Amino acid sequence: MGVSFGRSRVADLSFQVFARAIHPEWFAVRDHRRLTQDLWEADVRIIEGGHAVTFRFGDVRLCEVLAGPETHLPEPGLLFHSSVRHERSTTLEPKGGLSYQTCFEVERVDPEVFSHLCEEVTLDASRGGLFHRFSPVSRLSPAPISHIHIESRTRGLTVHTFHTFPEEHAIVRTQSLFEPREALNPR
**Mean pLDDT confidence for 92-104:** 92
- What does the DSSP 8-state code read for residue 136? P
pLDDT digits (tens, 9 = 90+) for 8-38: 899 999 999 999 999 988 888 999 999 999 9
Backbone angles phi, psi at 176, to 5 degrees: -135, 145
Residue 77 domain-assigned (yes or no): yes
Domain count within the chain: 1
Residue 185 domain-assigned (yes or no): no
Q: How many other CB atoms are there within 10 angstroms of residue 179's CB atom?
A: 19
pLDDT digits (tens, 9 = 90+) for 107-156: 999 999 998 888 888 887 767 789 999 988 777 778 899 999 999 998 89
- Does the pLDDT at position 4 exceed 60? no
**Mean pLDDT confidence for 3-8:** 57
Percentage above 90 pLDDT, the chain? 63
Rounded CA gap, 63 and 77, in Å?
10
Residue 120 domain-assigned (yes or no): yes
Quote the pLDDT of residue 1.
41
Percentage above 70 pLDDT, the chain? 93
Quote the pLDDT of residue 182.
61
Residue 90 domain-assigned (yes or no): yes
**Mean pLDDT confidence for 79-97:** 91
Backbone angles phi, psi at 105, to 5 degrees: -150, 160
Higher per-residue confidence, 71 vs 173: 173
- Does the pLDDT at position 167 exceed 50? yes
Rounded CA gap, 31 and 53, in Å?
12
Rounded CA gap, 39 and 152, in Å?
12
Residue 122 domain-assigned (yes or no): yes
Indicate the length of the chain as a whole number.
187
Range of the domain at 112: 10-180
- What does the DSSP 8-state code read for residue 38? S
Residue 187 domain-assigned (yes or no): no
Residue 129 domain-assigned (yes or no): yes
